[in-house]
Amino acid sequence: MKHITLLIAMLISTFSFAQEDPKITPFKDGEKEIAFRVIERVPVHANCNESLSNQALKECMNNEMRQLIIKNFNVDLANDLNLPSGKNRINTLFSINKEGLVDNIRVRASHPALEIEAKRLINLIPQFKRPGIQKGQPISVTFALPIHFMVEGNTQAAPIKPLTKKEQKEMARDAKKLAKKIKKQLRKASKDKK
């Protein structure tokens, strides 16, 4: 039996920085789009406070994306697809359009089922409160969101036993505590800037 582990720390470190060229680029039908890391005002995620600084909004969005992936990623794929042990990566690229909706989703993975799973996850992102703003105007924003996960197999060692319900609840509780701590730090950072 194989197990899948999401590498959340890598997601956090690469989310804001794994973007395309920082220039504004042409988009479909003559529309323009800009990379997330260089936008003047980032789009505001539905669960983030609009009054936060740009940096705090990026951190809030990172946290929301991480939580969405942790909560919704289909960890049974390792067994279903018989993936080899080791690190795996799914590359996703999508836009948040002028209306705050996710569109133009592009995915690359080692297996078509992983691409389908990544598209499903990206489609779970709720409409944004506000689109990205550049030079005072709404603009489509390009995001690159790599999803890293580790498949651990039982090659010659004893099988890795699945977590018990109690262990799963403890991990979920710890994740919620961490999310609350991060939100508290973001609120404090926002108040300190005022």
* Cα 120 to Cα 65: distance, rounded to the nearest angstrom: 13
* 95 has a pLDDT exceeding 90: yes
Q: Two tokens at 41?
A: 């005002």
What digits encode the pLDDT tens for the residues 5-34? 555 433 333 333 333 333 444 444 445 788
Could you read off the pLDDT of 166-189 as tens digits, one per residue? Answer: 877 776 776 676 667 666 766 776
Predicted pLDDT at 108: 92
Parse the chain into domains and list their residue ranges. Answer: 3-162
Collapsed DSSP state (helix, strand, coil) of residue 108: strand
The predicted structure's pLDDT at residue 60: 93
Evaluate if residue 97 carries a pLDDT over 60: yes
pLDDT at 130 over 90: yes
What pairing do the DSSP bridges indicate for beta strands 3-6 and 102-108? unpaired
Residue 105 scores a pLDDT above 80: yes
CA distances from 38 to 43, 120, 148, 166 (A): 12, 27, 24, 43
Give pLDDT, residue 11: 39
Give the model's pLDDT for residue 166.
80
pLDDT value of position 96: 94
Q: How far does the chain reach from its first CA to its final CA, in angstroms?
A: 53
User: In 19-158, where do the E strands start and end?
Assistant: 25-26, 32-35, 86-96, 102-108, 132-134, 137-152
pLDDT tens-digit readout, 34-93: 888 888 999 999 999 999 999 999 999 989 998 999 899 988 876 678 777 888 889 999
Give the whole-angstrom CA distance, residue 100 versus residue 139. 9
